Amino acid sequence: MFLSFLVSAALGAGVWFLYPPASPAPFLLFLFVLSFFRDFERPVPADPDALVSPADGRVTEITECEEPLYIQGPAVRIGIFLSVFNCHINRTPWESEVEYVRFTPGLFLDARHPDSGPKNQSNALGLKCPATGAKLLVRQVTGLIARRIICTAKPGDRLKRGERFGMIKFGSRTELYVPKDRLKSVDVRVGQAVYGASTIIGRLR
């Protein structure tokens, strides 16, 4: 997905070393951008009931709510804030089939703002487990700096747990909605750091 970017970045680094500018600022900016687009291989927990985090970041919210778009009922929303220093790859929390994809235009409030979830530009991904019928919704939400959402998943795709499906560029928010009656436990707390594909954030019943 990001091979062309990495190649151009590497070429840019070579040019910098051959012809270093008077100021180190361009090179520092290059390092920051390269760091932002890093993409790690992550071990995925073997627990068959485990929901893994859809993003790297810090849990800012665990709230009961109504989810009208896809789940269409009571749900638990787990909000994760991604700073500019986090890896921004989004991953599937559960082995599932993509049933629903919806992009919604909106504002670009700071992703830590309480209104950023409902008001900012976002992309919603509805996922259904073929074996159990359980539905999950993952929302990619832009921020003040992060204004470009990438989602490569489309209806009908089968995604493995922990599989990459997109990213949000330069700081953002990712939300996971789980039907309240299907959630056995929430295994994270507000303020906790989580890692996409590796951290168990809850379990389904």
Residues 130, 5: Cα–Cα separation, whole Å: 35
Q: What are the tens digits of pLDDT across the range 54-66?
A: 999 999 999 999 9
What's the mean per-residue pLDDT of the chain? 84
Determine whether 23 is an active site residue: no
Given a contact cutoff of 8 angstroms between Cβ atoms, the answer to whether 123 and 149 are in contact is: yes
Question: Among 35-39, 68-72, 123-127, 145-149, whose mean pLDDT is lowest?
Answer: 35-39
How far apart are the C-alpha atoms of 85 and 201, rounded to whole Å? Answer: 21
My answer on whether 31 and 85 are in the same domain is no
* Residue closest to 123 by CA, chosen among 168, 164, 72, 59: 168
Q: Which residue has the higher pLDDT, 121 or 39?
A: 121
Find tokens 């985090």 and name the residue.
53
Q: Residue 200 sits in a domain of what CATH number?
A: 2.70.70.10
What does the pLDDT average to over 142-152? Answer: 80
Identify the weakest region by mean pLDDT among 62-76, 110-124, 126-140, 188-202: 110-124
Question: 67 and 32 in one domain?
Answer: no
pLDDT-derived band at 88, boundaries 50, 70, 90? confident
Is 128 found in the same domain as 28?
no
Q: Which is catalytic among the residues 53, 96, 116, 172?
A: 172
**Domain-embedded: residue 44:** no
pLDDT the model gives residue 112: 76
Same domain, 69 and 13: no
Q: 55 with 80: CB under 8 angstroms?
A: yes
pTM for this predicted structure: 0.80
The answer on 155 and 68 residing in a single domain is yes
| Whether residue 113 sits in one domain with residue 13 | no
16 and 111 together in one domain: no
Q: Is the pLDDT of residue 13 over 50?
A: no
